[in-house]
Structure 1
């Protein structure tokens, strides 16, 4: 048997060579099996998403990490490669042993002569090896083809993965696999692919890089503002935590905490707990390591909750962070003035450059193929064309360093700076009605407000939209919530139309109680001539107005009494006063509406509550929208029908920094009886009499103009679910308030009311109906109480020390307040009230005063002066105004 199996030396060597080739194939097959077994997926290290939802992405090929076996897997798909290779390797198991046995049996002639048994075994092994190789031959051929193909696929992948057909000649199977895996990595199930030239983004990169290096660019200023605001809020939280006793920790943990005698180590507040090391806490008897850890954890929880509740309000504490924030905003105020659309475009271009990774190759654009995705990419391409046409919007800015008294400027114009902050941080909301059709929205967004006649006015995003809505739609009803700035929107409309239309005039029709306020606001925010058509010479004012491009302000009664030519723009404030079409007042106003090319009706009365009244108002401005049965429509259907004519935004919809303060000075024109009583106090030289006279009724049958304004404010408060806190310095004014407000007053706080009783009154206000009021002597109710149930604060007369007003308003505007706080300061026109403002704040400087954020500000402001000095100056000024001897 052995003899028949014997092979000559040449056959043995041929067998060994054949075996070596098979062993090499096995090694290659093992590597191929490892490659095919890899479970990698495509990874995109950096993708440029054009929208938050990832609908459209720009991908640089260099950012894609493809699986090592991408092409190999495609090649073997359907060939059962892994099974074939595994079977082959299993069958190969005995071959390495046989190979070694055959090799070791090969020796010289002497070796074979002296060890015939080894020679015989080698011959047998050679025979077995030959048989096994013959058996493997069919598998060997299959595996060889597989290994060769996998190797070739791997080598082709090393040259680059493509997803689009081209001169590279890559087969469709490979292209399709690459597209499928790339889409899976991005998370798009039905992808659409296209290529995009990377060079088109190069200009944007250059101008953005230059822009981002400019210290006065909006990009850099925003970063500075965010840092300042972070510091400011951290300081506010620190103040709050210092005021919270350690007992507050129990509200932040489910564990029972024992505080022992923490006072012995000077730990009395949550801030103290955060500041004190655990080892010091455990030195107090009764506090072990576990309790100390829980106390620290609870304190940290309260801190994080407090930080999360902070707003973007600047406040009134002149801290380093607050002053620096105001400086940043003053610099921003000097930079270029962009429309909301231009600012949005520039912001998007910045996002593109920072989000899309640089590439010298062609970008891969991946989308879901929807119409929405097409719109997003079209906007992207249009934005890049826009930057190519407007690179100047990214040029370095030249500004003047803010003055040393910038903080005082902020105190004089807090709303202006707060608006700048909202715009800079990108927190402005457009406030568009989702019911408006796309064509109208496009025209509104394309309109750029002309600011030629505007001064000292920075509109928030929703205010700009409201003004442009009124211009595009010609005649509209603006129903924004109280405190959202309907007046400045109207003034912006008037300024724009005056600048863009020929021989254009504006007429403003208002209740008598706000006539002076409107006139002052118009003078403050525009350079247009202002005419007050009121009193005996009202017709003369209208006649003078007709020959100008100015703004005339008159009352509803004045419209009935005068001959008024049609204005270009008619503004109707408190438009709900003309809801009844049968009254003579409404008919007179309606004639002007019909004759005017533009009309802006304004009211804060919620539409949803009085649908039938709004049918009349809409009929005045856009009668084509009125159909039969509208008064009985559901509110949602009604809103959809009149959307082209009506725009209303609630505070919660457009102000995300709630609670916010809206401050206003209500200029009150005294009635004839008020004036006579006030002048008598001036003649008598009575300082206190002059201060309180405008609030007191001259006769039992009269109601003072200031009291009339308070009644109006409380009626509005009732409609909007608000409660009021009313402050005065004088006890007899409290009596007057109780007399005229009647059941609205739930109580009064004065120096004679004990502290416990005061808190009972505060609790009663929280349970009272909207429109209710708590009245208080400012020295007694202005400190020490948290009256957060009130969101309307009325100050009946200016105070000698502004710090007293700050503390009073802080009763409602403080942490825990959830509603926007409205502050109204009643100032009699041409009275000691006005003289006080001139002396304390600078002549003709109309300003809003923000409340302090803490009770620690007991030191009078720098503008506080002695009362005797102030009284003497004002008495002299008023006597001179009346022509009396000094």
Structure 2
């Protein structure tokens, strides 16, 4: 074979090898996983029963080989077999090509007779020629080339025109549309039958788009006002962040950097706060001995980090400082209140269209959009919205309003809850529950720090934002006064601190360390139960005859010891890792024995929390005395005579207080507290006699009606009323029993405005409510729960006390709803007084299951609002509880007194 023919033969063999390589790569695509489309990038329009995803042309991320995959599978279903045949040919070609390349004689060999013919090479060349000339080989090669060409043309179509989901005159073949639809369905992962496809011309959107663009350009439209509000909030956040930096001591810089920073000498040049570091040039900082350029730069970088994090943590809170930004914000909200004239349905339409056209790019005239339709009514809702906007574009435009000017600030001060609700509505914030509130006052500093609370020893404890903040503030500062207003959860913040420190101790040496809680005797039970509920640490109650035994066990095993102020004086408590002093205003007198004991204990402790909602009751020096307990180094001569602003800045490192209005943005808010009350000896004796008598009603009210003495429940109620008086709040007390209310009225005397019971006429009830509304803080209105718990609006009360559990839990809910309802401007604190180890506790255990069933199956039912919806048989409930209590108290003899279930004190 001559060389020219041989070269042609070898070239044909190489082309077949190349063809086989491309075919194998295409086969990997064809046999690979079916294409799947990620649908998250579409423009979504949601409806109640589904939604519509709109796909702008050339903006959708389709699998690059979608059309090629579909075209080959459609036109060449046996492509895999053809590729296999071609690979077999290539294997034979590879065996023949190398020896065949040596065949043939050149021109010199023919002229001079040089060289000899290689029979093996010539034979290989002949076989290769015959293989490539074979009709089967030729058919296989042609078929594979056609498949590759089909894939190429399909790929070019996808790149040129994009993927279509619907058929049409200018659209791709149906099999390509079907492949695209299948890829979308696989992307949703649901039942393919629930997804349909459509296509809409861009002209259908034109009228609505123009109307929305006019709204967006209007200065008094909701989007424009939202933009203004966000701008002012950002500016307000910067102002407050700056104020925080002015209050932060230099030590705060250490918490945002691993670098060792030195501050010695900085006060000498007037640098005492983080703000001073931000304002002082590097060359000024380096003038201090020991601070070089690198240290100064790191110091300023840490300060900028604190400031930027404070700014980033801005909250929708207007505050009480009439600065430029806050006043501007109230003016925006006053305008917003007057321009929003659409009803809820129209507003929802407008908002959907605004969101749509902000996300949906326009297309050239004649263009169109593919639609992925999920559900039955979503497409119709979209088209209806478009027609609505096009038919009445003026309806979307707000009326122009006049800026109220500075008068808006006065209106805000008169109606703060209303303005806060306007702000939440304008910014579309979920502030109804207030579960995740944020702060922009001095308490915010801990939220900008990188500390993460260790939660390994906590259980079922969800800390609100401000509570997490307070706990982290205590962990970082180690010795603080937590002065939160009542009802904000000082107890759970302290528990979180104790758990964090215990986990740190475990990581360090394998122990859990020692925590001490010192509190009044009336709340020992509450502390022990809260700790047992929310914390894995072992709890020891050192109160009563076994207090020394419990204290020794605590010293040996570690955990949390709960004791009274007397216990702090008399027990050997050593050097606790964490000390919590509850109701710490009780140690404001430095000469009192309990103050001396707690001060010594605090000096021996690593972490100290003084909890009090009233750190300052009469004189500033009382507050100074509390500061002296935790940080004596902060107490200076003449401190009590400082002006308020200077005093606050001075104690900022140790004092943290939040008011309800600061941390609960959306009013009304409801804070529920389960108050476990330990019965006195006299209470227990009276309760035991009631159980022995088998009197259900006497058992339920025994904790209130102890003969010859004042009950523990009455003492706790007096404390609640006293706290309410300090905070300027009014108290609403509910009981089932009239004689319980009589006993409370006698104990509280002139604080009580009146008693609502079944004998009071509707007119008389309203007169009492009106008198209560005019009464000063600390006033009390008493009501039988079945008389005052329905039909009355008692928003003047922001503290509700339930004297005992009710057989019908919904009756409690209805009673609380007298105060916790629209029109309430303050947070409603609900106190449930539960006698520890009494019928109260047994009732909660049994009725909890009934309430759970009610919540699960009947909460959305109209009938669920009826009190009897969760009623159970009271005689059966009484029988179960009387029997259980008799067994617990060792009273279950051979004869059992007959149960008495009469009310014994009702109407």
TM-score between the two structures when normalised by the length of structure 1: 0.50
Which residue does 1:635 correspond to in 2? 644
Kindly state the Cα deviation for residue 860 of structure 1 after the two structures are TM-superposed. 3.3
Is 1:795 the counterpart of 2:802 in the alignment? yes
Cα distance between partner residues in 1 of 2:810 and 2:486 = 26
Which residue does 1:739 correspond to in 2? 746
Is 1:820 the counterpart of 2:827 in the alignment? yes
Cα distance between partner residues in 2 of 1:539 and 1:214 = 66
Cα distance between partner residues in 2 of 1:677 and 1:377 = 59
> Which of 550, 575, 578 is equivalent to 1:569?
578
Secondary structure, counterpart of 1:727 in structure 2: strand
Alignment check: 8 A CA contact 1:744 1:773 kept: yes
> Which of 658, 662, 680 is equivalent to 2:671?
662
Is 1:518 the counterpart of 2:527 in the alignment? yes
Aligned residues: 475
- Judging changes above 3 Å, is the alpha-carbon distance between structure 1 residues 832 and 718 closer, same or farther for their aligned structure 2 residues? same
Secondary structure, counterpart of 1:681 in structure 2: helix
Is 1:873 the counterpart of 2:880 in the alignment? yes
Kindly state the Cα deviation for residue 598 of structure 1 after the two structures are TM-superposed. 0.8
- Judging changes above 3 Å, is the alpha-carbon distance between structure 1 residues 423 and 794 closer, same or farther for their aligned structure 2 residues? closer
Which residue does 1:480 correspond to in 2? 484
Which residue does 1:676 correspond to in 2? 685
> Which of 689, 695, 703 is equivalent to 2:710?
703
Which residue does 1:78 correspond to in 2? none
Which residue does 1:722 correspond to in 2? 729
Cα distance between partner residues in 1 of 2:850 and 2:764 = 42
Gaps of 5+ in 2: 1-186, 190-254, 257-299, 313-428, 897-907
Kindly state the Cα deviation for residue 572 of structure 1 after the two structures are TM-superposed. 0.6
Kindly state the Cα deviation for residue 578 of structure 1 after the two structures are TM-superposed. 0.6
Alignment check: 8 A CA contact 2:436 2:464 kept: no
1:154-193 matches, cutoff 5 A: none
> Which of 445, 448, 458 is equivalent to 2:449?
445
Secondary structure, counterpart of 2:698 in structure 1: helix
Secondary structure, counterpart of 1:523 in structure 2: helix
> Which of 838, 842, 845 is equivalent to 1:838?
845
> Which of 569, 573, 592 is equivalent to 1:560?
569
1:63-142 matches, cutoff 5 A: none
Is 1:457 the counterpart of 2:461 in the alignment? yes
Cα distance between partner residues in 2 of 1:816 and 1:379 = 38
Cα distance between partner residues in 2 of 1:423 and 1:765 = 28
Cα distance between partner residues in 1 of 2:453 and 2:881 = 42
- Judging changes above 3 Å, is the alpha-carbon distance between structure 1 residues 797 and 881 closer, same or farther for their aligned structure 2 residues? same
Which residue does 1:145 correspond to in 2? none
1:23-61 C-alpha deviation (Å, 9 max, x unpaired): xxxxxxxxxxxxxxxxxxxxxxxxxxxxxxxxxxxxxxx
1:15-54 matches, cutoff 5 A: none
> Which of 489, 495, 498 is equivalent to 2:493?
489
Gaps of 5+ in 1: 1-212, 216-339, 342-370, 384-419
Moved more, 592-601 or 555-564: 555-564
Secondary structure, counterpart of 1:791 in structure 2: strand
Alignment check: 8 A CA contact 2:432 2:667 kept: no
Is 1:619 the counterpart of 2:628 in the alignment? yes
Alignment check: 8 A CA contact 2:479 2:608 kept: yes
- Judging changes above 3 Å, is the alpha-carbon distance between structure 1 residues 529 and 373 closer, same or farther for their aligned structure 2 residues? closer
Secondary structure, counterpart of 1:481 in structure 2: coil
Cα distance between partner residues in 1 of 2:762 and 2:546 = 53
Secondary structure, counterpart of 2:493 in structure 1: helix
- Judging changes above 3 Å, is the alpha-carbon distance between structure 1 residues 775 and 377 closer, same or farther for their aligned structure 2 residues? closer
Which residue does 2:661 correspond to in 1? 652
- Judging changes above 3 Å, is the alpha-carbon distance between structure 1 residues 705 and 421 closer, same or farther for their aligned structure 2 residues? farther
Cα distance between partner residues in 2 of 1:509 and 1:832 = 28
Kindly state the Cα deviation for residue 524 of structure 1 after the two structures are TM-superposed. 1.0
Kindly state the Cα deviation for residue 640 of structure 1 after the two structures are TM-superposed. 0.7
Is 1:762 the counterpart of 2:766 in the alignment? no
Alignment check: 8 A CA contact 2:730 2:780 kept: yes
Alignment check: 8 A CA contact 1:745 1:774 kept: yes
1:479-529 C-alpha deviation (Å, 9 max, x unpaired): 011111111110110000000124411111111111111111111111111
Kindly state the Cα deviation for residue 698 of structure 1 after the two structures are TM-superposed. 1.9
1:417-467 C-alpha deviation (Å, 9 max, x unpaired): xxx97699995314651797xxxx59x712111111011112122111111
Secondary structure, counterpart of 2:755 in structure 1: strand
Alignment check: 8 A CA contact 2:453 2:472 kept: yes
Kindly state the Cα deviation for residue 656 of structure 1 after the two structures are TM-superposed. 0.7
1:564-588 C-alpha deviation (Å, 9 max, x unpaired): 2221000011100111111111111
Secondary structure, counterpart of 1:695 in structure 2: coil
Alignment check: 8 A CA contact 1:479 1:605 kept: yes
1:541-592 C-alpha deviation (Å, 9 max, x unpaired): 1111112231111111222232222210000111001111111111111111
Alignment check: 8 A CA contact 1:516 1:667 kept: yes
Cα distance between partner residues in 2 of 1:428 and 1:880 = 47
- Judging changes above 3 Å, is the alpha-carbon distance between structure 1 residues 525 and 435 closer, same or farther for their aligned structure 2 residues? closer
1:229-277 C-alpha deviation (Å, 9 max, x unpaired): xxxxxxxxxxxxxxxxxxxxxxxxxxxxxxxxxxxxxxxxxxxxxxxxx
Kindly state the Cα deviation for residue 747 of structure 1 after the two structures are TM-superposed. 0.5
Which residue does 2:262 correspond to in 1? none
Alignment check: 8 A CA contact 2:431 2:665 kept: no
Which residue does 2:548 correspond to in 1? 539
Secondary structure, counterpart of 1:513 in structure 2: helix
Alignment check: 8 A CA contact 2:733 2:800 kept: yes
1:73-115 C-alpha deviation (Å, 9 max, x unpaired): xxxxxxxxxxxxxxxxxxxxxxxxxxxxxxxxxxxxxxxxxxx
Alignment check: 8 A CA contact 2:522 2:678 kept: yes
Alignment check: 8 A CA contact 2:863 2:869 kept: no
1:192-341 matches, cutoff 5 A: none
Cα distance between partner residues in 1 of 2:476 and 2:306 = 28
Which residue does 1:130 correspond to in 2? none
Alignment check: 8 A CA contact 2:443 2:469 kept: no
Which residue does 1:466 correspond to in 2? 470
1:759-796 C-alpha deviation (Å, 9 max, x unpaired): 11111111111111000111101011000000000011
Kindly state the Cα deviation for residue 540 of structure 1 after the two structures are TM-superposed. 0.7
Moved over 6 A (4+): 371-374, 376-380, 420-426, 852-856
Kindly state the Cα deviation for residue 611 of structure 1 after the two structures are TM-superposed. 2.1
Secondary structure, counterpart of 1:614 in structure 2: helix
Cα distance between partner residues in 1 of 2:500 and 2:728 = 35
Kindly state the Cα deviation for residue 372 of structure 1 after the two structures are TM-superposed. 11
Cα distance between partner residues in 2 of 1:844 and 1:214 = 38
Cα distance between partner residues in 1 of 2:496 and 2:306 = 34
- Judging changes above 3 Å, is the alpha-carbon distance between structure 1 residues 712 and 562 closer, same or farther for their aligned structure 2 residues? same
1:182-219 C-alpha deviation (Å, 9 max, x unpaired): xxxxxxxxxxxxxxxxxxxxxxxxxxxxxxx999xxxx
Secondary structure, counterpart of 1:493 in structure 2: helix
Cα distance between partner residues in 1 of 2:302 and 2:608 = 39
Cα distance between partner residues in 1 of 2:875 and 2:306 = 70
Which residue does 2:720 correspond to in 1? 713
- Judging changes above 3 Å, is the alpha-carbon distance between structure 1 residues 452 and 861 closer, same or farther for their aligned structure 2 residues? farther
Moved more, 865-874 or 607-616: 607-616
